[in-house]
Chain A
Amino acid sequence: MRPFEYARPSDLAQALAAAGPDTVFIAGGTTVVDLMRLDVLAPRRLVGLGDVAELRRTELDGDPVRLGAGVTMAEAAALPLVRERYPALAAAIDLAASAQIRNVATLGGNLLQKTRCPYFRDASSPCGRRRPGDACSALTGHLEQRAVLGASPHCVAPYPGDMAVALVALEASVEAATAAKVVTVQVADLFREPGDAPHKETVLGDGDIITAVLLPAPRGTSAFVKLRDRASFAFAAASAAVSLELDHDRVVAARIALGGVATRPWRSSEAESAVSGERLTPERAFAAGEAAFEAVARTHENRRGIALGARAVTAALLACRGG
């Protein structure tokens, strides 16, 4: 780890003022400390967000519901309101990482966690997501889990997080503070596709601080399904979150998002169209999963991702009708 100075601002204004070149914010630190140890992050100054009271501000009786960005994953998942009204979010958190990590990891940090691509995590490999302008080592090297959706010749790494996928299906937003103002951004619009600038991961600026996650009143029911290479404590091979309005067994409206198979949390209008207005049968749910990948040319390499992503969508849809 490289030497760095540590700043501990006590409010949001100080935290925003502490940002600058070579500065990194640290919340729970479960991504930041890991990457600093690998020299993937080497800030000269680390700014701790733990004392910033504004990031803990939570309003459960508001519309939208507000969860402070500094609330831990464990705290958020334990809220009865989250468990009862936003089951997709509760499941996405429960199925992420381990109990120890969820006890310190925060909502803001979870959204902005970094890719698990082994070349990104190896400071000596070229990687355009880590160092602007570098070629992508994974293109010619070995990356088992490549993004099927949203990849570019400059980066093929999937977005690793679970929570953002559920938040996209729930049409949630984040509130963020910039030096000049407070902005609200839909989680669906927060992340960029890599294009030719994979290092630009979100639409936020470098020194901006996420202050809260905002949840609109739930419409219908929701579910989150995560497929993993082992029974627990693993990143998603594929995941899907669905928020569904049903009239008996007919779908009035569906919001469907995929994870693990795309460079960013991926909302699929194709999957949504495949079920909207239809009776939610197993066959229809299966067709919706397939529809999410209809625009993708099948290759030997993406077969597995497509199959898993499609089945995750199917399972999440069927979970919404209670089976």
Chain B
Amino acid sequence: MKPESAVVSITVNGTPHRLEADTRRTLVDLLREDLGLTGTKIGCGQGTCGACTVHVDGVRVLACLLLAVTVEGGQVLTIEGLGTPDGGLHELQQAFIDRDALQCGFCTPGQIMSGLGCIGEGRANTAEEIRESMSGNLCRCAAYPGIVAAIADVAEGQGA
């Protein structure tokens, strides 16, 4: 069977796109290869590491386990969509720096997108709750204490 393609309409970080994509294209490949948004990483490609975490329609999801065709009409937010228009950092990005929440940085975009979901879901009330809610994001450098602290800082600041 020869490759099949489909038209996918999708809004990424506020910008609408309409592209012709192979039906096999995953969301993470569409972001990285077709749109050049390489902030979203691919670790395992199997749903176990969380490096590919983005938001679709307001919730955190794994872009490696989503086919682009199934996200038709969706609103996608990636790490590139955070921060202020003049290039300033989002408060959770700043908190990651302040708390030394990274070493190599490979897992960081996924950690931050997942951390935002954790805070938004109201699951950042205690360190234990944050660890449980963030268990889908692995860090080979084991920056976990800093990650938990950064998320707790932002959640507290927001009165969560």
Residue B151 interfacial (CB < 8 Å): no
Contact among A48, A100, A231 with B50 in the assembled complex (CB-CB below 8 Å)? A100
Interface residues of A in 195-235 (CB under 8 A from B): 231-233
Contact A100 B135 (CB under 8 A): no
**Given A6-B23, A232-B135: A99 touches B70 (CB 8 Å cut-off):** no
CA distance A125 to B69 in the complex (A): 30
Contact B23 A232 (CB under 8 A): no
Question: How many interface contacts (CB-CB < 8 Å) are there between A and B?
Answer: 94
Contact B65 A46 (CB under 8 A): no
Contact B72 A8 (CB under 8 A): yes
Residue A84 interfacial (CB < 8 Å): no
* CB of B33 to closest CB in A, whole Å: 15
Residue A5 interfacial (CB < 8 Å): yes
Residue B37 interfacial (CB < 8 Å): no
Contact A103 B59 (CB under 8 A): yes
Residue A9 interfacial (CB < 8 Å): no
Residue A3 interfacial (CB < 8 Å): yes
Contacts of A303 in B (CB 8 A): none
Contact A30 B65 (CB under 8 A): yes
Residue B47 interfacial (CB < 8 Å): yes
Contact A34 B136 (CB under 8 A): no
For B114, the closest partner residue in chain A by CB is A100
CA distance A100 to B133 in the complex (A): 9
Residue B4 interfacial (CB < 8 Å): yes
CA distance A100 to B65 in the complex (A): 10
What 0/1 readout, one digit per residue, does chain B (17-52) give for beta carbons within 8 Å of chain A? 000001110100000000000000000011100100
Contact A99 B65 (CB under 8 A): no
Contacts of A232 in B (CB 8 A): 131-132, 135
For B134, the closest partner residue in chain A by CB is A99
Residue B66 interfacial (CB < 8 Å): yes
**Given A4-B23, A8-B72: A34 touches B65 (CB 8 Å cut-off):** yes
Residue A298 interfacial (CB < 8 Å): no
Residue B104 interfacial (CB < 8 Å): no
Contact A99 B66 (CB under 8 A): no
CA distance A97 to B46 in the complex (A): 12
Contacts of A26 in B (CB 8 A): 67, 70
Contact among A2, A4, A5, A34 with B46 in the assembled complex (CB-CB below 8 Å)? A34
**Given A8-B72, A99-B60, A99-B136: A33 touches B65 (CB 8 Å cut-off):** yes
For A26, the closest partner residue in chain B by CB is B70
Residue A12 interfacial (CB < 8 Å): no
CA distance A46 to B121 in the complex (A): 32
Contact among B23, B45, B137 with A3 in the assembled complex (CB-CB below 8 Å)? B23
Contact A74 B59 (CB under 8 A): yes
Which residues in B have some Cβ–Cβ distance to A below 8 Å? 1-4, 6, 22-24, 26, 45-47, 50, 53, 56, 59-62, 64-67, 69-70, 72, 114, 117-118, 121, 123, 131-137
Known: A34-B65, A100-B50. 17 other contacts (CB 8 A): A2-B24, A4-B1, A6-B67, A26-B67, A29-B67, A29-B70, A33-B65, A33-B67, A50-B70, A99-B114, A99-B123, A99-B134, A103-B60, A104-B56, A104-B61, A104-B65, A104-B66
